Chains A and B, each alone.
Chain A
Amino acid sequence: AQSVTQLGSHVSVSEGALVLLRCNYSSSVPPYLFWYVQYPNQGLQLLLKYTSAATLVKGINGFEAEFKKSETSFHLTKPSAHMSDAAEYFCAVSGDTGGFKTIFGAGTRLFVKA
């Protein structure tokens, strides 16, 4: 079975500061990993995904994430936070032998202070 743990249900940064959202996964098979973002009162949208190609994945809005197998991590970063980045971020994993299912983490709420 697969699982995802997002460390920190809330993260607060100042505008212009580094954003770091942590995600660790557990998987018995090579995982596929995703970061989705949910803005208030909206559905989720894909930021980026890792599908076993390059370990450093670049996404939309200046976000990137690095797959580290030895650490079973897929942390999301952005060099400089904008007010518009305030949202809920979900890490997700798929690829289990059961197929089809994507397992989502509990989410991390990002606050950006002016």
Chain B
Amino acid sequence: DTAVSQTPKYLVTQMGNDKSIKCEQNLGHDTMYWYKQDSKKFLKIMFSYNNKELIINETVPNRFSPKSPDKAHLNLHINSLELGDSAVYFCASSQGSASTDTQYFGPGTRLTVL
């Protein structure tokens, strides 16, 4: 059983389109995250939810909107895609939101905007 899963694994789309990435965790964790990894492998936090409540909202364009229907799911919707949005997006989860909590990462979604 995959602990943190993301769909789709690859996403190729045109500029200006709207797309969504879905994430699910079956670990029973309370906290979920979205990270963006750029072409230089730099990993940056975007959002985090704890028990469906937004607790981290970094400086991200408002074209990006996370949604957590329940604590096992955290989806990411992106409007009006731009070339600079091309990256690998990782979902992660942790037991709680404590600084010592280990994060468990999904396999990533590689988004390519043409």
Residues of A within 8 A of B (CB): 32, 34, 36, 38, 41-46, 49, 51, 88, 90, 94-96, 99-102, 104, 106-107, 109
Contact = CB atoms under 8 A, between A and B. Distances in A.
Interface of B: 4, 40-45, 48, 50, 55-56, 90, 92, 97, 99-100, 102-108
Contacts of B90: 43-44
Question: Chain A's interface: helix, strand, loop or mixed, by majority?
Answer: strand
Contacts, number: 61
Nearest to A50: B100
Contacts of B103: 36, 44, 46, 102
Contacts of A88: 41
Contacts of B105: 36, 43-45
